[in-house]
Amino acid sequence: MTFQNYFADMHIHVGNDMYNQPVKITASKKLTITNVLLEASRTKGIPFIGVIDCHAPAVQEEIHQLIRDGDAYELADGGIQFEHVTLLLGAEIEIYDDSCQGPIHVLCYMPTLETMAYFTKWLEQHITNITLSSQRYYGSAKELQAKVKEYGGLFLLAHVFTPFKSAYGKGVNRSLSEVFDLTNIDGIEVGLSADITMADHIQELHQFTYVTNSDAHSLQKIGREYQEIQMKEPSFKDFSYALHHKHGRKMVRHYGLNPKLGKYYRTVCAICGERMHMNDQECPHCHRYKIIKGVSERIDELTNENTIKPDRPPYVYQVPLEYLPGVGPKTYQKLLNHFSTEMNVIHRATYQDLIEVVHKDIAQMIVDMRSGKLRIDAGGGGIYGKVKRNKK
């Protein structure tokens, strides 16, 4: 059996459906399912994606239209093939039941359009508006897990450390077992303000496979975090095998932001945004006290293990091209015109290749990005960190 490595971003939103109606209200209207597929296939060069608003009936209708037009087809092992990208059908759902201090977001993936349609029919009995993303589910987390498994789906926890809408973020839940059936969790998404080393400070997470995804709310953000997966081919079945280290499928490495670039990495004042420490009695700037606890401090509270699992794949710090100082729209387009896709620029173009297209300072930043050598200012309180220009 021959394996290959594939880049995969498994958490992408839909902004509007084919009727120009909102799906993810906070996402770009340009983020239709068709545009997502085109962006991943032609611009990003990412061959495996998960769109987590496929529970919406109009999104399913648009996929069926692509199939009828001959632009896409279903794979025997699960997933939808479109040009050079395979789509995994997912749904992001918000839980907030009696057993948890929520809300908590989870990701549910189904193997086929048929099973997603069945899941949608069941789900609309338990949420207020089936046409919208990330809706509150009225029922217990364990009941939702059981239903996902009944349909042959995968159940993952989304951005597990962020201060809002995550399993650990609220500061009350200290163990996943307080809310979930651990045997029905297939993976953990660490989120933009953490990496796998930070996550492994929590012992109960050692049993799970991590995923690193973009949570894209615009076309440009697709691929700001992703993983490289060893599979026979991109499909639902192979993704499931990789999450459980079966039949030679596995996570090879993760590519993501340095956690300090995440918008919730550090603790800040919720009123003025000034950086704070957990033991501060008041904000040193506005002299009030209302904090947004940073992911780094939250993990410190939960830490009970200080070593990373030896079999974890490496986590490589990098950023999207648009994060780099000096890479504006014109420079970005020059790079795409020459190297075809972002993945080619980020992973395959040599320094000598790059300086034929862009200034040597930008070429050096791209090379430095690959080795995690970029200088950054940490983010927090909903404001992303920033990449700083290299010292000359």
What is the per-residue pLDDT across 183-193, written as a single tens digit (0 to 9) for each? 999 999 998 88
Count of C-beta atoms within a 10 Å radius of residue 301: 11
Whether 368 is covered by a domain: the verdict is: yes
246 and 124 in a common domain: yes
Calpha distance 88→11 (Å, rounded): 10
| 132 occurs within a structural domain | yes
Residue 37: Cβ within 10 Å count = 26
Q: 83: Cβ–Cβ under 8 A, 6 or more apart, which residues?
A: 37, 38, 41, 42, 71
Identify whether 52 is part of a domain: yes
CB 35 within 8 A of CB 216: no
Task: List all residues 6 or more positions away from 96 whose beta carbon is below 8 Å from its beta carbon.
Answer: 102, 103, 104, 136
Q: What pLDDT is recorded for position 170?
A: 66
pTM score, two decimals? 0.93
Cα 165 to Cα 149: distance, rounded to the nearest angstrom? 23
Q: Are residues 19 and 166 in the same domain?
A: yes
230 and 369 assigned to the same domain = no
pLDDT for res 171: 58
Question: For the chain, what percentages of helix, strand and coil (3-state, to nearest 5) are there?
Answer: 30, 20, 50
Same domain, 157 and 68: yes
* 8 A C-beta contact, residue 55 and residue 116: yes
Q: What is the Cα–Cα distance from 143 to 163, expressed in whole angstroms?
A: 25
pLDDT digits (tens, 9 = 90+) for 53-82: 999 999 999 999 999 999 999 999 999 999
Would residue 297 count as lying in a domain? no
Q: In terms of residue numbers, what domain contains 337? A: 321-373
Does residue 273 fall inside a structural domain?
A: no
Residues 80 and 200 occupy one common structural domain = yes
Q: Are residues 35 and 123 in the same domain?
A: yes
Query: Which amino acid belongs to residue 315?
Result: Y
Q: Which of these, 251, 264, 267, lies nearest to 196 by C-alpha position?
A: 251
Domain CATH number, residue 346 = 1.10.150
Residue by residue, pLDDT tens for the chain (392 residues) are 799 999 999 999 999 999 999 999 999 999 999 999 999 999 999 999 999 999 999 999 999 999 999 999 999 999 999 999 999 999 999 998 776 667 899 999 999 999 999 999 999 999 999 999 999 999 999 999 999 999 999 999 999 988 888 888 765 567 899 899 999 999 999 988 889 988 999 999 999 999 999 999 999 999 999 999 999 999 999 999 999 999 999 999 999 988 888 778 888 877 777 777 767 777 877 877 777 778 888 888 888 866 667 689 999 988 889 888 889 999 999 999 999 999 999 999 999 999 999 999 999 999 988 877 777 777 777 777 788 766 65
pLDDT in the model for residue 63? 98
Asked whether residue 91 is assigned to any structural domain, the reply reads yes
- Residue 284 resides in a domain: no
Within-domain flag for 183: yes
CA-CA distances (angstroms) from residue 331 to 243, 350, 354, 363? 37, 17, 11, 11
Q: Would you state the pLDDT for residue 306?
A: 66
Length of the chain: 392
- Looking at the fold, whether 146 and 234 belong to one and the same domain comes out as yes
Secondary structure (3-state) at 237: helix
Number of domains in the chain: 2
Closest CA relative to residue 321, chosen from 329, 309, 310: 329
| CATH number (domain holding residue 63) | 3.20.20.140
CA distance 206 to 328: 40
In this prediction, residue 390 carries a pLDDT of: 61
Determine phi and psi for 161, rounding to 5 degrees.
Answer: -110, -10
Residue 1 in tokens: 């059996």
Choosing from 241, 256, 271, the residue where a domain stops is 256
| E-strand stretches of the chain | 4-12, 48-51, 72-74, 80-82, 85-95, 104-110, 136-137, 154-157, 187-189, 210-211, 226-231, 250-256, 268-269, 291-292, 315-317, 375-377, 386-388
